[in-house]
Structure 1
Amino acid sequence: MKTNWAFLKLYVKKIILVGTLYFLPGILPGQEALTLEDCLRLALQNSRQMKISNMSIQQSQEKIWETRAQRIPSFTLSGTYTHFGKVSSFSIPMGPTTRTFQFGIPDRANLDARVQWSLFTWGRISSSISMSRLGKDLSITRRRSDLTQIIYQALQGFYSVLLNEKIIQLHSENLQRAESLWQITQKRFAAGGIPKLEVLRAEVQVKNTESTLEEARGNLKKSRLFLSKTLGDPQYSYQIKGQLQYVPLSIVPEEIIEKALAVRSDIQTLELQQDISRQQVKLAYSSNKPNLSLFSGYNVQNGFDPTNPESFVSNWNMGLQLSFPLFDGFATVHKTNQAKIESQKTTLQKEELQDLVTLQIQQAVTTLEQAALKIISQEKNIELAEEALRVTTDQFQQGIVSSMDVLNAQQTLAQSEMMYTQALFNHIMARIEISRAMEDFSWFTLDLQPPTRSEKQSK
């Protein structure tokens, strides 16, 4: 696989950003509300998946050393001690005396040292080492994918909490308007200016708004649970600070797609798997090829000399061993075919993933554009709805219109505010999706910086 220098530069920048976030002072429960930067740092510090990914890289490095060991001669030292209950012997008359000879001795000891070195394996060792190196590259690439996923989830959780907090604020304001109308209708009913139906209608609106507000609080609780899990402490409810901001973007979908296809870690994972499959084909092809190895040994034992069985005798040997599997029942052919099929499967998976990434980006860009248009239109609609509510409320107090007109104006304003907030959230989520596709979250760099004084005043 060719080195992508543009990707390497991007990856180095990401590592620097992550390292900066990781080594900044930690945030403890009970401290002030968390910023987006705090959330990202906690998510990276407390992620079990990142720890697992780091362990996988260490494990793959150990695998490399294991496969490299095949090139180093192996040394085996063995020793045995054996006690025989009965030892065979025979006697030979020699003149006036008789001499007895034993076949060995009751207590025998043997020390054996052997060295074996594989000289030629038809590329099997080289293929194994290459596969282990690719395995480490695969672990590093998967770690980058895990890093992207953690940042993605942290951004998702952070802005989901902001969305639900904003929705609660809008429902609370809507409830205040509904209660204000209810109070006005009660006063006018007491004065005989309107029928009881007007009061009941306003009261129903208050109850409905209260129910909607409670539902929004439940959604906020669920979004905080998700954020707490992402930050590594599911039992603690974090408070955050931030705003849903509209950041206009000028993007070219083709450039986004090209960049995503060049740097996506899951695509590079499949490319590495393709390389591994090629090595597996080579390994399978060589399984029925000859092996040549050098061996040598040194041995020390007693009981070997029949004239002096107690003495220790040493010996050594050296030689070459050639093994050539002539027939393995066509197992090698089937192994090779399996490896080739696996390589073809990986190629198809890569093509399918590239199409899926392209589709995801196209959909996210469409969502981004739609949300931007809705944000602009709803800003104007909110101004019109606020003016309409003010005029309708004044006319109701003057007895020109009914409470139904005021309720309709309130609902129109609430709907416009909700659509504007949802469009803001959709725009941010589309930015997150596109950033995830490119594995580049630099669009959110401004969100990591505290607002200036002029920005605070404008807000």
Structure 2
Amino acid sequence: MKLVNAHIFFPVLLFITIGMNTIHAQVWTIQQCFDTAKVQNKSLQMSRNNMAISVQKEKETKANLIPKITTNADYKYFSNLPYQLMPLSTFNPTAPEGTFKNAQFGVPHNINANLQLSMPLYNTQVYGAIQATKIASEFTALQYQKTEEQIYFEISNLYYNAQILYHQLAFIDQNLMNSTSLLKNMQLLNEQLFAKGTDVSKVKLQVAQLTTQKESISSKYEQVLNALKFAMGVSIEQKLQIEPNIQYQNTNEYSPSSTLDIRMIRTQNRLLSSEINTLNKSRFFPSINLIGMYGTTGFGYNGQPASFLDFYPIGFAGVQLSYPLFNGTVTQRKINQKIIELKNNELQFGLISEQNNMQVQNVQMQRKIAKKSVETTTEQIELAKTIYEQTIILKSQGAASLTDVLLADNVLREAQQAYLAAVIDYLKADLEHKKLTGNILITK
């Protein structure tokens, strides 16, 4: 692409390249900034921790299929043994029907110790939870990619702003140098009575304005660099020098792809459908568990005529079936809630899809206009530079006034700023286009 001179006698300032990637020592490219952020940015670190949590949750739900073994032990001392009513006919066959005798059974000391085993053979809720956590893990991974995309978008914007401010400073430095040179000439002419004092004051004012503008731009440049360091996750004291060459790709086109927002909505849809399916199954399918227990029971007595503590083994194994007959329509109410959530999810999918299509069309127009503006302002800089050079020559010949020189200088500076604004508009529109077409992390 054509190189643009910033001012008269100004060396090559701004390279606009296609696919150029020059790496200098101690210079951070935009990709290096993003690679650093992937490691040190705290938001991405938290997102990775959330992914690790979701993996553990998935393992936790799968662990419900593993047999569970518990141990139980208890000791009871009965100060009053429990009573039972026994029919009198047990002791006296001639006792009338319907008469009872109270009696105490057992011994004061009771000890129980056992191991219990439980293992689900079939449980719709366990299998449904496993499926749900698997989908949730996918959703968490998409959230990480979303955070990564946001960080890349933020770093790119900051980097572009820093590049533009860098070149604004370069333009101001050259303009200031030319204005200072002009001021010296005007002061010399004034001393020789060839220029008025007001002419000198006008140039002094311009020098002062440029100096103030330089201080303001320098402050903004440092602020943007600090924000870039923060986004990267590095210390503010870190020395950071950006790549001054702006990579301007004016022929780049991106293939439409599903954005992360749409993929996240689809994953939420799968999760809601899975939850509805699990709730439906829990109403009609039983739960079957394998159970078992082995232990001992001890009975003790410490009275007369003899004290004793005897233990007796106990154990069993079996299958336990549980079938919900009626739970007060709680499950149905949960299903109804999930169905409404699913409808909202589908509406959100349509809304985001339509919004994305609209935004893609808008950003394509913005990029097209910005591209045209870059080409136009490039020509304007060349034209303004030519006018300035010719005005300087005419001024030296006495055919142009100082006002003409200052006006030509202002026109050149306005063209320079318009050019930089057009470049940044194009770069931001291009970045937004990448994001809306799902290519921001693919084409970086």
TM-score, length of structure 2 as denominator length: 0.81
Q: Structure 1 counterpart of 2:330, which letter?
A: A
Aligned counterparts of 1:435 and 1:312: Cα–Cα separation in 2: 77
| Secondary structure of 1:301 counterpart | strand
* Alignment map for 1:288-367 (pairs within 5 Å): 288-289=283-284, 290-303=286-299, 309-367=308-366
Aligned counterparts of 2:115 and 2:339: Cα–Cα separation in 1: 42
Aligned to 1:199: 200
Report the alpha carbon displacement of residue 147 of structure 1 after superposing the two structures with TM.
Answer: 2.3
Aligned to 2:367: 368
| 1:332 to 1:431, Cα distance in 2 relative to 1, 3 A | same
* Alignment map for 1:2-401 (pairs within 5 Å): 32-82=26-76, 103-104=106-107, 106=109, 108-121=110-123, 123-236=124-237, 237-251=239-253, 256=255, 259-261=256-258, 264-289=259-284, 290-303=286-299, 309-401=308-400
| Contact 1:105–1:309 (Cα < 8 Å) also in 2 | no
Q: Structure 2 counterpart of 1:381, which letter?
A: Q
Which moved further from structure 2: 297-306 or 160-169?
297-306
Report the alpha carbon displacement of residue 250 of structure 1 after superposing the two structures with TM.
Answer: 5.0
Q: Which has the higher helix share?
A: 1
| Contact 2:158–2:227 (Cα < 8 Å) also in 1 | yes
Count, aligned residues = 394
Q: Structure 1 counterpart of 2:257, which letter?
A: A
Q: Structure 1 counterpart of 2:313, which letter?
A: S
Report the alpha carbon displacement of residue 132 of structure 1 after superposing the two structures with TM.
Answer: 0.8
| 1:359 to 1:308, Cα distance in 2 relative to 1, 3 A | farther
Report the alpha carbon displacement of residue 200 of structure 1 after superposing the two structures with TM.
Answer: 2.0
Aligned counterparts of 1:442 and 1:125: Cα–Cα separation in 2: 38
| 1:249 to 1:334, Cα distance in 2 relative to 1, 3 A | same
Aligned counterparts of 1:131 and 1:366: Cα–Cα separation in 2: 42
| Secondary structure of 1:114 counterpart | strand
Which moved further from structure 2: 370-379 or 32-41?
32-41
Report the alpha carbon displacement of residue 277 of structure 1 after superposing the two structures with TM.
Answer: 0.4
Aligned counterparts of 1:270 and 1:71: Cα–Cα separation in 2: 30
| Contact 1:104–1:309 (Cα < 8 Å) also in 2 | no
Q: Structure 2 counterpart of 1:416, which letter?
A: A
| 1:178 to 1:441, Cα distance in 2 relative to 1, 3 A | farther
Aligned counterparts of 1:222 and 1:37: Cα–Cα separation in 2: 20
| Contact 1:177–1:410 (Cα < 8 Å) also in 2 | no
Report the alpha carbon displacement of residue 278 of structure 1 after superposing the two structures with TM.
Answer: 0.6
| Contact 1:374–1:423 (Cα < 8 Å) also in 2 | yes
| 1:60 to 1:246, Cα distance in 2 relative to 1, 3 A | closer
Structure 1: runs of 5+ lacking an equivalent: 1-26, 89-100, 445-459
Larger radius of gyration: 2
Report the alpha carbon displacement of residue 235 of structure 1 after superposing the two structures with TM.
Answer: 1.8
| Contact 1:395–1:401 (Cα < 8 Å) also in 2 | yes
| Contact 2:290–2:320 (Cα < 8 Å) also in 1 | yes
Q: Structure 2 counterpart of 1:169, which letter?
A: A
Deviation per CA, 1:315-374: give whole Å up to 9, x if none: 223444443443333222211110011111111222222223223322322222112212
| 1:296 to 1:55, Cα distance in 2 relative to 1, 3 A | same
| Contact 2:128–2:275 (Cα < 8 Å) also in 1 | yes
Aligned counterparts of 1:273 and 1:206: Cα–Cα separation in 2: 61
Report the alpha carbon displacement of residue 425 of structure 1 after superposing the two structures with TM.
Answer: 2.0
Deviation per CA, 1:434-456: give whole Å up to 9, x if none: 22332345655xxxxxxxxxxxx
| 1:250 to 1:119, Cα distance in 2 relative to 1, 3 A | closer
| 1:279 to 1:299, Cα distance in 2 relative to 1, 3 A | same
Structure 2: runs of 5+ lacking an equivalent: 1-23, 83-103
Aligned counterparts of 1:102 and 1:356: Cα–Cα separation in 2: 78
Deviation per CA, 1:368-413: give whole Å up to 9, x if none: 2112212222222111111111111122233222211111100111
Report the alpha carbon displacement of residue 224 of structure 1 after superposing the two structures with TM.
Answer: 0.5
Aligned to 1:425: 424
Report the alpha carbon displacement of residue 51 of structure 1 after superposing the two structures with TM.
Answer: 2.1
Aligned counterparts of 2:204 and 2:181: Cα–Cα separation in 1: 10
